[in-house]
């Protein structure tokens, strides 16, 4: 009996190619309020009629903000299927008020890149474009404990997570900032403990204070869900510390590399899975 040719054999594993994901249309927004939270943190409220229908369902969700290029009063409206804007960055929608079409966004003034430079001079009436939202952190319904480990870039995401926890969950937060002036009140969770650690102004030290604090803390329990969000290389070191020295199962950990030292265009979706 001869072997059937390839064309004679039905390929039951073949799936049609997935259709490319359709981008949501960009939304034009204006600055309506600027708040100074600390020397290095600004909370900027964005508003506009095009925010109608913008809602998020998960904590630590993300959106894209498009900033003006040098010489522009406002960025050009991106085409739905056009190239990625050069000055587009990812941020967490901290508070969304759909009834009045407002979003609060926190910006770290780290001194480099189009977003930080823009936020340092932001004024009421200035225009950005917004795309999204994207998905966030799916809180496990049955998790009794959480450990949030991150630097100042993760503060908005952590605030949304803290505000979403059940009344019975316990949570430990270890937050790294440049100095004590950056410490501030976080959303109250019924069973929360917040530890602030200082790295100083030298960003080459990113994550070292977090690692030291972890080594001085009891190892996380097996039912603890861990969210690590900070500089990309530091996030990988912390994941390795957790899974190696501290014996944490990798399935307990969610990682996010929010920025990378020396790279102002660090790509999105850096989860540290290669660590």
Q: What is the pLDDT of residues 146-186, one digit of tens each?
A: 999 999 999 999 999 999 998 899 999 999 999 999 999 99
Output the six-digit token pair for 30. 């204006």
207-255: pLDDT as tens digits: 999 999 999 999 999 999 999 999 999 999 999 999 999 999 999 999 9
pLDDT at 10: 36
pLDDT at 195: 97
pTM of the model: 0.88
Could you tell me if residue 270 is inside a domain? no
Q: How far apart are CA 150 and CA 197, in angstroms?
A: 10
Residue 4: band (very low, low, confident or very high) from pLDDT cuts 50, 70, 90: very low
85-142: pLDDT as tens digits: 889 999 999 999 999 999 999 999 987 788 999 999 999 999 999 999 999 999 987 8
pLDDT at 225: 97
Provide the mean pLDDT of the chain.
88
Domain span at residue 33 reads: 27-134
Q: Does 254 or 70 have the greater pLDDT score?
A: 254
pLDDT at 110: 82
Could you tell me if residue 129 is inside a domain? yes
Q: Does 75 or 112 have the greater pLDDT score?
A: 75
Could you tell me if residue 71 is inside a domain? yes
Sorted by sequence, the CB contacts under 8 Å of residue 30 that are 6+ apart come out as: 46, 47, 48, 124, 125, 126, 127, 128
E-assigned strand segments in the chain: 27-38, 41-47, 62-66, 88-91, 95-97, 102-108, 127-134, 145-151, 170-177, 191-198, 224-231, 253-259
Domain end point (choices 91, 108, 134) = 134
In a shared domain, residues 175 and 245: yes
Q: How far apart are CA 275 and CA 271, in angstroms?
A: 9
Could you tell me if residue 13 is inside a domain? no
pLDDT at 5: 34
Could you tell me if residue 127 is inside a domain? yes
Q: What is the number of structural domains in the chain? A: 2
Dihedral over alpha carbons 186, 53, 266, 86 (to 10 degrees):
-130
In a shared domain, residues 120 and 156: no
In a shared domain, residues 254 and 151: yes
CATH number at residue 80: 2.40.30.10
Output the six-digit token pair for 258. 């929010």
pLDDT at 12: 39
Residue 14: band (very low, low, confident or very high) from pLDDT cuts 50, 70, 90: very low
Share of the chain above pLDDT 90, in %: 72
127-134 and 27-38 beta bridge pairing: antiparallel
Beta-carbon count within 10 A of 262 CB:
9
17-27: pLDDT as tens digits: 544 556 678 99
pLDDT at 85: 83
Could you tell me if residue 183 is inside a domain? yes
Domain end point (choices 109, 134, 159) = 134
């Amino acid at each position: 009996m001869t072997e059937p040719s390839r064309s004679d054999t039905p390929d039951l594993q073949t799936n049609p190619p997935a259709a490319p994901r359709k981008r949501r249309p960009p939304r034009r927004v204006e600055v309506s309020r600027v708040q100074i939270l600390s020397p290095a943190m600004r909370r900027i409220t964005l508003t506009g009629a095009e925010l109608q229908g913008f809602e998020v369902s998960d904590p630590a969700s993300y959106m894209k903000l498009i900033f003006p290029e040098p010489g522009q009063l406002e960025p050009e409206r991106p085409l739905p299927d056009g190239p990625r804007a050069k000055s587009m960055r990812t941020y967490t929608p901290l508070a969304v008020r759909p009834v009045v079409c407002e979003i609060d966004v926190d910006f770290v003034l780290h001194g480099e890149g189009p977003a930080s430079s823009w936020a340092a001079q932001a004024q009421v009436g200035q225009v950005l474009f917004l795309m999204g939202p994207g998905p966030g952190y799916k809180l496990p319904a049955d998790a009794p404990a959480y450990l949030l480990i991150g630097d100042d870039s993760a503060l908005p995401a952590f605030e949304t997570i803290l505000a979403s926890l059940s009344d019975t969950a316990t949570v430990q937060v270890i937050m790294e900032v440049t100095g004590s002036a950056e410490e501030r009140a976080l959303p109250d969770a019924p069973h929360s403990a917040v530890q602030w650690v200082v790295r100083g102004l030298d960003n080459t030290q990113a994550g070292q204070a977090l690692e030291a604090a972890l080594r001085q803390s009891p190892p996380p329990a097996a039912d603890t869900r861990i969210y690590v969000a900070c500089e990309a290389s530091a996030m990988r070191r912390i994941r390795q510390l957790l899974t190696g020295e501290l014996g944490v199962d990798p399935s307990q950990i969610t990682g996010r590399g929010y920025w990378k030292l020396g790279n102002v265009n660090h790509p999105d979706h850096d989860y540290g899975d290669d660590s």
